[in-house]
Amino acid sequence: MPRRPLTTTVATLCALTALTACHGSPEAGRPNTNPTSPTTSPTPTAPSTPTWTPEEQAAITAAKSQYAKARTAAGGALRDPGTASRDLLEAAGNGGAWLTSIVERIVFLRDRGLYQSGDARIVSSTATSVNLSAEQPSVVLKNCVDGAGVMMRYRATGKPVPVVTTSGGTRHTMSVRLVYATAKGGAKMWFLVEEKSVGSC
């Protein structure tokens, strides 16, 4: 099957991914400092976790599933950069800036006789934002992914490439954005379009 050519830009290392931020306890309302005033009710506070509508929750569930599929396909392409296909990556829900970064990474590995072994493990995934009313609906996730099993190796020998230890450990918090868009076949699906490191987890 013919493959579309990959871009030739050299990429940075693959992003790992992320965890949910901790939330503090809600504020307890201000005390009454005027002895002659009647007792006041506590100040209303927002819930510590968002409440999603059934439609939003369905979108979150679908986006999380597609995120895992997109990352699995990207990992497979990085394990065998010589046969990687952009069409297959897109079909698995990779798009936007994220797809560009994966294609650049594939070219980097292929041109240097390298490949990636192992897979990053998604430790947790939490929705932080859902917008279903936009022209292109979106879901933003905060994920924790552990990349301890991921290693870059030489294709000729299978030996690991010496690299400087990553600061902050192997777990990273990532802000992940998925959008609901039309695929090449005409059907709509979620696409992983952005993944940004926001710390460790």
pLDDT tens-digit readout, 90-111: 999 999 999 999 999 999 999 9
Q: How confident is the model at residue 48 (pLDDT cuts 50, 70, 90)?
A: low
Among 119, 144, 133, 129, CA closest to 177 = 129
What 3-state class would DSSP assign to 98? helix
Strand partners, 98: none
Mean pLDDT across the chain, nearest whole number? 81
Query: Is the separation of the CB atoms in 104 and 9 below 8 Å?
Result: yes
pLDDT reported for residue 149 = 87
**Which domains are present in the chain?**
54-200 (3.10.450)
Q: What is the pTM of this model?
A: 0.74
Contact yes or no for 58/96 (Cβ under 8 A): no
- Using the CB atoms, write b or e for 6-20: b if 16+ within 10 Å: beeeebeebbbbbbb
- The CB density around residue 69, as the number of other CB atoms within 10 Å, is 17
3-state helix, strand, coil in the chain (%, to 5): 25, 30, 45
Q: Decide: 193 and 10 in contact? Cβ < 8 Å.
A: no
Supply the pLDDT for residue 170.
87
